C-alpha cells in the first residue's frame, strides 16, 4: 500500500520558506510522516511498483515538501537491488566539506519539480553533517558522492532553496569544467 502523502509542487510558496528547528520529543504525527515518507521513497525506487502506481522515483524528501516547515528530511538509499538504507535527519548542520565540487551529470531531480531541468548544480563531493535522529540523539554523518549530493539537496529544501534556483538561467552549464561529473 502506497502511503498517502502529498508532495508540494515547486510553484508552492511554502517551498521557499526557511524551516524551523525541531524540539524533542517528536510528535507522533511527525514520526508517522517520517515512516510514510521513507516507505514512499522505497516503493518509488522499486521499478514494478513505481510503474504500477505511477510514482516518480525519489531518494529523499524534506518536510517542507510535505507541507511542514520543520528541519527534518529522510533519505532512502538503494544499496543493492531491493536493499535499502534509511536516514532520518533532524536539525542538520554541515560542519565540514571537501574543496572538490561535483555535479550530477544527467541533472538533479526533485519530487517537487515535475519537469525536466537542464543544467548543473555544483555540490561538495564530501561533507560531514551533524544531525539528530528521531529520539533526539546527536549523530555525525560522513557522506560522499551521490549521498553527499542528496544530503545537500535536502538541506537546501530546509533553507527554502530548490535545486532549480541554483542553476544559472543564462548559462545552465556554467563552469562545468571546474567540477567533476558523477
Q: Which residue has the cell 509542487?
A: 9
DSSP type of residue 34: H
How far separated are the first and last CA of the chain, in Å rounded? 33
| 129 membership: H or E segment, kind and range | strand 126-132
Cell numbers that stand for 46 in this block: 522499486
Cell numbers that stand for 122 in this block: 555544483
Among candidate residues 48, 85, 135, 154, the one labeled active-site is 154
Q: What angle do CA 105, 109, 122 make, to 5 degrees?
A: 50
Sign for the CA dihedral angle at 78, 79, 82, 83 comes to negative
Q: What number of other Cβ atoms are within 10 A of residue 154's Cβ?
A: 24
The DSSP secondary structure of 148-182, one letter per residue, reads HHHHHHHHHHHTT--GGGGS-SS-TTTTGGGSEE-
The question of whether 100 is a catalytic residue gets the answer no
**Which of the residues are catalytic?**
154
Amino acid at each position: 500500500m502506497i502511503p498517502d502523502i502529498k508532495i508540494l509542487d515547486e510553484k508552492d510558496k511554502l517551498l521557499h520558506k526557511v524551516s524551523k528547528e525541531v524540539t524533542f520529543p517528536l510528535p507522533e504525527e511527525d514520526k508517522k510522516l517520517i515512516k510514510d515518507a521513507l516507505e514512499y521513497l522505497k516503493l518509488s525506487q522499486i521499478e514494478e511498483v513505481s510503474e504500477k502506481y505511477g510514482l516518480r522515483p525519489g531518494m529523499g524528501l524534506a518536510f517542507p515538501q510535505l507541507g511542514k516547515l520543520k528541519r527534518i528530511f529522510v533519505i532512502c538509499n538503494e544499496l543493492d537491488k531491493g536493499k535499502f538504507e534509511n536516514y532520518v535527519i533532524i536539525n542538520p548542520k554541515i560542519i565540514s566539506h571537501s574543496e572538490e565540487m561535483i555535479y550530477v551529470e544527467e541533472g538533479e531531480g526533485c519530487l517537487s519539480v515535475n519537469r525536466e531541468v537542464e543544467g548543473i548544480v555544483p555540490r561538495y563531493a564530501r561533507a560531514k553533517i551533524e544531525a539528530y535522529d528521531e529520539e533526539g540523539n546527536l549523530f555525525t554523518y560522513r557522506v560522499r558522492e551521490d549521498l553527499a549530493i542528496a544530503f545537500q539537496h535536502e538541506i537546501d529544501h530546509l533553507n527554502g532553496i530548490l535545486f532549480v534556483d541554483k542553476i544559472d538561467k543564462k548559462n545552465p552549464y556554467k563552469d562545468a569544467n571546474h567540477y567533476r561529473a558523477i
